[in-house]
Structures are given as C-alpha cells and as structure tokens.
Amino acid sequence: MSILAQPDDWALVRRYLRIEGYGGQPLRGGVRWRFEITDPQDGAIKRRLAAIQTPCATCGRVLHPVRPRDGRQRWYYAVACEQDRQFRCSRNRKASREYERIRSAYKRWRDGLPAAPPEPQGTLF
C-alpha cells in the first residue's frame, strides 16, 4: 500500500517533502529526482514522520520511508528497502512507478488540483 493510500500520513509527509531534480542519465531518459524532507524543527513532528510505515514498493517488507541521510542532519523519503539491505528493491520499475505516482500527487497538491483517483494496487488472483 502506497503512502498515497494513507491520507493522514500523506498529508504530513507532503508538507515537508521537497522533490528536487538533479544530474540526468542521458541513456535512461534524463532527470533523476531526490525526495528530500525538510527539517520540521518540531521534535513531535519528527517522531511522527519517523514512525510512518509503508510496504516496500518492490518486495512488500514493512519499512520506514522517512529516513536520515548523512548522519541524521538531513532526511529523505524512500519507497523501497535500504540499499544495504536489499539493493535490487530500489532499482526496478515498481519503485520507479511509485516515485512517479508520488511526484504526480505532490505536484497536483502543490498546484491546488484535486487528487487523482487511486490506481489499483493489484489483484489477489
């Protein structure tokens, strides 16, 4: 289940989310994106962000998508397992599609547009 299917968590995350384009990979289609979390300065909000749980977009393992970068000074948002745990999870189409859904939802929110209808998450059979 995506963060987008968790309205309260998504409302909190998007307030602090900053999506930044950086260096492209010309052979792979251009710009790459960083999903940075700005520092809320409020300890209670930091704890709420750190406590959010979602499944990995690839393997389904429960994870904490808001994570520290560079030794806890900066945080980021991730849809897949940490690379030192499961490198392949963050390097595939499932993760890329989830990042694109989040980027699209964030842009719609930022631009004051209504949320798009949720995409099907798959079937049981």
Q: Is residue 86 in some structural domain?
A: yes
Domain that holds residue 20: 3-110
Q: Is residue 121 in some structural domain?
A: no
pLDDT band at 118 (very low <50, low <70, confident <90, very high): low
User: What pTM did the predictor assign?
Assistant: 0.82
Write the pLDDT tens digit of every residue in 59-93.
Answer: 999 999 999 887 667 899 999 998 777 778 988 89
| Contact between residue 82 and residue 74 where contact means Cβ atoms under 8 Å apart | no
Q: Which long-range contacts (CB under 8 A, 24 or more apart) does 90-94 make?
A: 90/58, 92/58, 94/57, 94/58
Q: Is residue 120 in some structural domain?
A: no
| Contact between residue 36 and residue 75 where contact means Cβ atoms under 8 Å apart | yes
Range name among 13-17, 77-81, 121-125 with the lowest pLDDT average: 121-125
* Count of structural domains, the chain: 1
Write the pLDDT tens digit of every residue in 24-51.
Answer: 665 566 677 889 999 888 999 999 999 9
